[in-house]
Structure 1
Amino acid sequence: MSPQTVTKQESKLAEQNKLISELQRTVSQLQAKVLVNEYHIREQQRAQEAIQSQADTLQHTEQQTKVALQCLTSRFERYRSKIIQATFSTAGSKSPQAELTDEEVLEAMQKIINERMEFHQMLKQKGVKVPSLYSLDPSASSPTNSRSSRKSPLK
């Protein structure tokens, strides 16, 4: 082999070695990018799992709140119905023909209370001995309704 050929071959070899080094550097850079991207993907997956867990917790809390609201609404409606029944079952009251607003129920109750107070005052003025309207003894005002003094289990 001639010295020129050897020099040419050495030059080609040097270029190929340089190219191999550049390619190895590029491969290393790409591997580093892959590692960084994999890290970011894992972080995003962890964040997504945390958000999903929070969403599940919120959904569970929402469901519990809906159930509690339904229970309270049902209890409120039963209580309201009992108030309406008690208010309009007094002598001289006519039963409502349509759905009543809370304001209408309150007005009817206030009317009954005022009439009771006026009657009580009239009896006192006539000299009749009557118990106080503000008695703290619930059995004095309603001996037949012992169930209504029961405490609510949700309190």
Structure 2
Amino acid sequence: MSYYWMKGNTLKVPATLFKKNRDRLVAELKKKVDGQWTVLLQGGREKLRYNTDCDDLPFRQESYFFWTFGVHESEFFGAIDVDTGKSVLFAPKLDPSYAIWDGKINDENFFKTKYEVDEVYFNDGDSIAALLKQHLKAEKLLLLKADNTDSGNVLEVPSFKDVQRSFF
């Protein structure tokens, strides 16, 4: 069984909790939409300090993305087919040089097992639209956009190459 754990005396949260969250989301969406809908969420992105390759702050995943998929790494996208509940993660495709600085580059099966999703594909920046159509038969996307009334920040809808041409 996979789980999320911050080490030490913290609790281990089983990945099955995130599967239950996705199932609850799908159940509620089925009450509101009909037809071939796919939920597409974009996880958080690391912010670099000015013009350097140093992280500005320690990375923390977007709460809604963590609730849905349990993913704590940056640069992920996630999709859920509302009709079937099938879940897909799009992991960032890392350059081989990444291994020099940060260690082993994990494959799709590593993330599939870790996050207990149905499929994982690497996102090279050009492939999400095609993968959504090919593997989820996505026709219409449900995207999250929200205003934070406390900070004034706006959560923009997920963006990637060809999203406009492919779905809108």
Choose 1 or 2 for highest CA Rg: 1
More strand, by proportion? 2
TM-score, length basis structure 2: 0.19
For normalisation by structure 1, the TM-score amounts to 0.20
